[in-house]
């Protein structure tokens, strides 16, 4: 059974009740200075790999662009020698990757609203509000979920990187819903391994324009940077593998409410895949603009009204399931649509 959201939750490892009220930490922030960098020693599995840059990108969760720069700089070797980004890797090859240190960054703890669904000594599950950026980045040094988490938990796991303490997976700024956050390095590594092995189940609710052809379908299409706009993602031939499963929950007048399951976790994956099949997410200002062109009459008026009511992309991380990194207990959580999207859905059902 999926666990409904509550302000208190039962810890499956001990059966005790955990208060999720925020507390003031003993420190005011986190300063993460530059270090000597990190060296990763990787071994290619028995299946080999078609490209060096893709292999390293997938294993270290670095962008292909960054990996290619490391290769050009001579910071990636294969069996002790220099290599090319497109090099094919044989089984058993030893790949050494030296990642230079990031610049020093200071992340301040901030007393921001944070909806904690569950908490124990190892992890938290958070129901992120729409409009909140997950971690600091250029242009968003404050007001992020990480800033709020550091107020609540001063010593988050550092495995996620200097600007992403505790972060196991992300949601777009305008996507609401469930995220798991690691408190300890051990929990972080186990959860990250589970994510890579696709043992963390993530289900979203999304509204898309138009009607998908089938009640259930699979979208398997590689995703990479849009060659015409580096700020966007797109389905591209040499992109990273991406797999999405879609099931129609409700059919409205000129839109569908979907359950969407991720098998992989590429940037903007649901939004890109739905746009790719001609049914972009309702309210998506990056991948869904202009879909309604050519419509007329009552249908166009309905579409215009739905678009007016949606103030952000209609995308919500509604279910999350994983094995507890310490006890192995099955953890399942569910978050219903927030008020803004729930109100839109209720209006659409009347249409």
pLDDT tens digits, 74-122: 999 999 999 999 999 999 999 999 988 765 567 888 999 999 999 999 9
C-alpha span between 52 and 77 (Å, rounded): 10
User: What are the residues facing 245 on neighbouring strands?
Assistant: 218, 261
Q: What local confidence, expressed as pLDDT, does residue 306 receive?
A: 95
Q: What local confidence, expressed as pLDDT, does residue 195 receive?
A: 92
The percent of the chain in helix, strand and coil, each rounded to the nearest 5, is 20, 30, 50
* Residue 31, CA distances (Å) to 67, 103, 155 in order: 26, 11, 11
C-alpha span between 52 and 64 (Å, rounded): 10
Residue pair 25/152 in contact by the 8 Å Cβ criterion: yes
Burial group, residue 344, by CB count within 10 angstroms (0-12, 13-18, 19+): buried
**Structure confidence at residue 284 as a pLDDT band (50, 70, 90):** very high
Q: What local confidence, expressed as pLDDT, does residue 59 receive?
A: 84
Q: What local confidence, expressed as pLDDT, does residue 69 receive?
A: 92
- Tally Cβ neighbours within 10 Å of residue 198: 13
Closest CA to 284 of 265, 306, 301: 306
DSSP tally for the chain: helices H, then strands E: 7, 20
Looking at residues 292-311, what average pLDDT do you find? 89
Q: Report whether pLDDT(70) > 50.
A: yes
* Residue 230, CA distances (Å) to 65, 224, 226, 227, 233 in order: 11, 10, 6, 6, 7
Q: What local confidence, expressed as pLDDT, does residue 19 receive?
A: 32
Q: What percent of the chain has pLDDT over 90?
A: 64
Q: What local confidence, expressed as pLDDT, does residue 222 receive?
A: 96
> What does the block give as tokens for 14?
């001990």
Q: What local confidence, expressed as pLDDT, does residue 57 receive?
A: 87
Mean pLDDT taken over the chain: 86
198 Cβ contact list (under 8 Å, min separation 6): 263, 264
C-alpha span between 223 and 54 (Å, rounded): 12
Residue pair 143/110 in contact by the 8 Å Cβ criterion: yes
Looking at residues 289-307, what average pLDDT do you find? 87
Burial group, residue 95, by CB count within 10 angstroms (0-12, 13-18, 19+): buried
Looking at residues 291-315, what average pLDDT do you find? 90
C-alpha span between 290 and 269 (Å, rounded): 20
Looking at residues 178-206, what average pLDDT do you find? 94
Q: Report whether pLDDT(340) > 80.
A: yes
Looking at residues 299-307, what average pLDDT do you find? 93
| pLDDT, tens digit (0-9, with 9 covering 90-100), for 6-56 | 333 333 333 322 333 333 333 344 444 444 578 899 999 888 888 999 899
**Structure confidence at residue 128 as a pLDDT band (50, 70, 90):** very high
Tell whether the torsion through CA atoms of 46, 49, 52 and 53 is positive or negative: negative
| pLDDT, tens digit (0-9, with 9 covering 90-100), for 46-65 | 888 889 998 998 888 788 88
Q: What local confidence, expressed as pLDDT, does residue 1 receive?
A: 44
C-alpha span between 284 and 153 (Å, rounded): 33
For the chain, domains (ranges, CATH) are 3-33+106-197 (3.30.2350.10), 38-99 (3.10.290.10), 203-317+341-350 (3.30.2350.10)
Looking at residues 142-157, what average pLDDT do you find? 87
Query: Catalytic residue numbers?
Result: 172
């Amino acid at each position: 059974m999926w666990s409904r959201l509550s302000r208190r939750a039962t810890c499956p490892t001990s059966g005790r009740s955990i208060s999720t009220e925020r507390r003031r930490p003993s420190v005011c922030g986190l300063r993460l200075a530059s270090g000597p960098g990190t060296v990763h020693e990787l071994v290619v599995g028995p299946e080999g790999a078609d490209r060096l840059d893709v292999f390293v990108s997938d294993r270290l969760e670095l962008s292909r662009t960054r990996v290619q720069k490391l290769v050009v700089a001579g910071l990636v070797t294969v069996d002790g020698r220099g290599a090319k980004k497109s090099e094919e890797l044989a089984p058993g090859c030893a790949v050494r990757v030296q990642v230079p240190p990031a610049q020093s960054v200071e992340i301040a703890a901030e007393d921001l609203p944070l909806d904690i669904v569950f908490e124990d000594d190892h992890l938290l599950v958070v129901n992120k509000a729409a409009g909140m950026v997950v971690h600091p980045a250029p242009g968003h040094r404050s007001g992020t979920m990480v800033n709020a988490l550091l107020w609540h938990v001063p010593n988050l796991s550092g495995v996620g990187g200097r600007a992403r303490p505790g972060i196991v997976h992300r949601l777009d700024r305008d996507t609401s819903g469930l995220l798991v956050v690691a408190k300890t390095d051990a929990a972080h590594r186990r959860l990250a391994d589970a994510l890579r092995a696709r043992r963390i189940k993530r289900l979203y609710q999304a509204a898309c324009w138009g009607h998908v052809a089938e009640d259930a379908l699979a979208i398997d299409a590689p995703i990479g940077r849009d060659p015409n706009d580096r700020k966007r993602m797109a389905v591209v031939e040499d992109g990273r593998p991406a797999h999405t499963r879609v099931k129609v929950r409700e059919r409205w007048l000129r839109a569908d409410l979907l359950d969407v399951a991720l098998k992989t976790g590429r940037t903007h994956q649901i939004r890109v895949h739905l746009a790719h099949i001609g049914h972009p997410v309702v309210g998506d200002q990056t991948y869904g603009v202009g879909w309604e062109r050519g419509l007329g009459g009552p249908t166009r008026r309905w579409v215009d009204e739905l678009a007016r009511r949606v103030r952000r992309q209609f995308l919500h991380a509604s279910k999350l399931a994983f094995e507890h990194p310490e006890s192995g207990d099955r953890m399942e959580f569910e978050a219903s649509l927030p008020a803004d999207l729930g109100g839109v859905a209720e209006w659409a059902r009347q249409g």
